[in-house]
Amino acid sequence: MLVSIWRYAHLALAIVSSVFLLLLSITGVILAVDAVNEKIPPYRIQHIEDLNLAQTVSSLRKVYPEIMQISVDHNQFVSIDAIDADGNTVKGYIDPNTGRLLGPQLNKSQFVQWVTALHRSLFLKVTGRVIIGVVSFLLFLITISGIVLIVKRQQGVRHFFAKINRDFFAQYFHVISGRIFLIPILILALTGTYLFLVRIEILKKPNQTIEYPDKGKDDIELGVEKFSIFQHTKLVDLTKLEFPFMEGDPDEFFLLKLRDRELTINQLNGSLHKEVKYPFTALAEQFSLDLHTGKTNIVWAIILGLASLNIVFFIYTGFVITFKRTGTKIKNKYRAEEAEIVILFGTENGSTLFFANQIHKQLLADGQKSLLLGMNQYQRFPNAKQLLVFTSTYGLGTAPSNALQFEQKVDSCPQEQDVYFSVLGFGSKAYPDFCAYAKEIDDLLEKQAWASRLMELHTVNDKNIDELISWIHHWSEKTDIALASAPAIYSSKVVGLTKFKVVAKSTVSATNTTFTLLLKPLSKVKIQSGDLMAIYPAKDQRERFYSIGYKDGMVQLVVKLFPDGFGSGFLYQLEANHTLQARIMANPSFHFPKEAAAVALIANGTGVAPFLGMISENKSMIPLRLYAGFRHPNQMTARYVEFADEQIKQGYLKQFELAFSREQDSKYVMDLIHRDALYFVELLEKEGCILLCGSLRMQYDVEQTLNALLLAHVGKTIAIYKENGQILTDCY
């Protein structure tokens, strides 16, 4: 099914962009041929890298009494616009050592200019550039989806270049040429997209101009051969040198254009008058243009020409493959109408799918007609004899994201024959709703007239392989279908681990069971406040997740120490300079908003951790409030107050509100929200954001409170604002 999704995406992108890609490819081939042809005249001299500008200008002035400009192009051909000793105008390529004319400066033919305009903008100016930019990006997506299809076909990256079966020529050519020209086509797509973004000024940034004090009036005149700037500038680094219009006039300057800047130079003493530095986007634009056109290297120009030609054949062979596949079965897959064993999986982070897939692959190898689908893909299976449901539980006993429609579909689409069912639940006993959703599904299936129980509900705690194998043994005995029981088959290696060093750790006390941990990553890893850190206390698959704050290169955790806590106990025994391995999981749906009218952060307990980092990330000084709820005031909450006061002084935070639920004057964050009802309603109405982190019970109560306030004041439900991305949550 996953392969099908990628295949359909690959095909859809190709269909949408095929006409434009065909046009771009053909014109790209023509321009690549032109780039090769312009390098054929031998105008580049030997050892040009050894020449500096002082030597060159001094030599050329002996030959040409009046020089307007000297240029060096991408081929390192040196050209001049000057007047010789006989008063004749000279424009052409020269030997910079002697000034000898090597050949006339050639202009692009009208045909090449026409093809260039067609390639860049389809003769439609800005509209055409937008179309070309979008098509370049689509080419990038097509390339990525093609890579994924090859990887899946070859069953992993390791076998990317392994021998493939030659089913028919179009298929064979499509895959082989895709491997060969992968990098050139990817570069064409990326550079084309970048050039588009720069030229429609999405990425454009201004130049930086620096004025220098004028030293020309009091200093002694120098010859150009003694100009320090000219002596330290290599000729090959030059783009253009424009000479003063009036020689000897202190108000006329040399204009030296390099790849990364322009220098205005006093013609009398060589002092720097003004410097204009190009922004990074301009340098990246030139680099992208060189890569995209191949004009700096004849070999690269040939490669790009072949890659462009290959895109034409890609389009042809791709459609041939599609037409041949129409109406045929996908190898090693069974349709819903054929499957006899149906495995449905419900997962939030993919681990349940891994176990289900290991069972599915064994069944296929045994000749069984097995089908593996997400729970939302439940439908009628007319030949099904066995239904296996592997599911995790999300939130407060609720369905994972790919199982939200399952119950409704079971009710609306009953099977027409008797089917045996078995439910296997995955979860962690550290949470009160252990496998609650699996139990709910087990009860649901038991009530169906068509479903007969094969086995009692079985649960797996913390991905315990022994518990999984116990279920495998019982299922094999019931069905007489042998499944492997070797633990290694069901153990996936944890990848993406990063080593962290403990910088500091606070301690707990009789009045405070919460501690903080400050960690420094020992290798480069992308981290942002609101991301998740997965730790592995037993160095196996069992993991614990913590929402993190990130500031000044340090990860901060706020952890509640539980008696015999699997994760908290492991973290608390760490001391300064100890190291641990953990995995950072990007959580972009819970990052601090880059643009918002105002933001409110609401936390209870250890949920305050990511907000400690987010407050410091508020560089735009967005109006920001923090509401936090705890049981008692203690040393930890005192540190939060101290931190908040400092952030308020610096302008990152506007207001900090605390609620203590176990004090005489008991308050919860919901009480604070009721008190500031108008603030929260106005915040959401004016496109502000609310971020929630802490317990799921707190999230439920806060959302119920906000929903009631919104209905009362503006007649809207909280669902509207959640759909708009104005309410972000990370609760547990």
DSSP per-residue letters across 458-471:
EEEETT-HHHHHHH
Q: Could you tell me the two tokens for 78?
A: 């040196």
The low-confidence residues of the chain, meaning pLDDT below 50, are 1-4, 154-155, 165-167, 324-332
Q: What is the DSSP annotation of 657-719?
A: EEEETTSSS---HHHHHHHTHHHHHHHHHTT-EEEEEE-HHHHHHHHHHHHHHHHHHTS--HH
CA angle at residue 36 from 34 to 38, to 5 degrees?
70
Burial readout 204-235 (b: 16 or more C-beta within 10 A, e: otherwise): eeeeeeeeeeeebeeeeeeebbebebbeebeb
Q: Would you state the pLDDT for residue 287? A: 83
Query: If we measure between CA atoms, which residue out of 110, 109, 70, 75 comes closest to residue 91?
Result: 70
Torsion of CA 288, 289, 291, 293, to 10 degrees: 160
Q: What is the DSSP annotation of 345-409?
A: EE-SSSHHHHHHHHHHHHHHHTT--EEEEEGGG----TT--EEEEEEE-BTTTB--GGGTTHHHH
Q: Would you state the pLDDT for residue 109? A: 77
Q: Which amino acid is at 45?
A: I
Q: Would you state the pLDDT for residue 362? A: 81
Q: In this structure, what DSSP letter does residue 87 have?
A: S
CA angle at residue 503 from 498 to 508, to 5 degrees?
110
Q: Which domains does the chain have, with CATH numbers?
A: 2-38+111-203+288-325 (no CATH), 47-105+207-278 (no CATH), 341-490 (3.40.50.360), 497-589 (2.40.30.10), 594-731 (3.40.50.80)
Q: Would you state the pLDDT for residue 137? A: 79
Q: Which amino acid is at 567?
A: G
Q: What is the DSSP annotation of 135-186?
A: HHHHHHHHHHHHHHHHHHHTTSGGGTTS----SSHHHHHHHHHHHHTHHHHH
d(CA 123, CA 321): 33
Q: Would you state the pLDDT for residue 488? A: 64
Question: Beta partners for 516?
Answer: 558
Q: In this structure, what DSSP letter does residue 512 have?
A: B
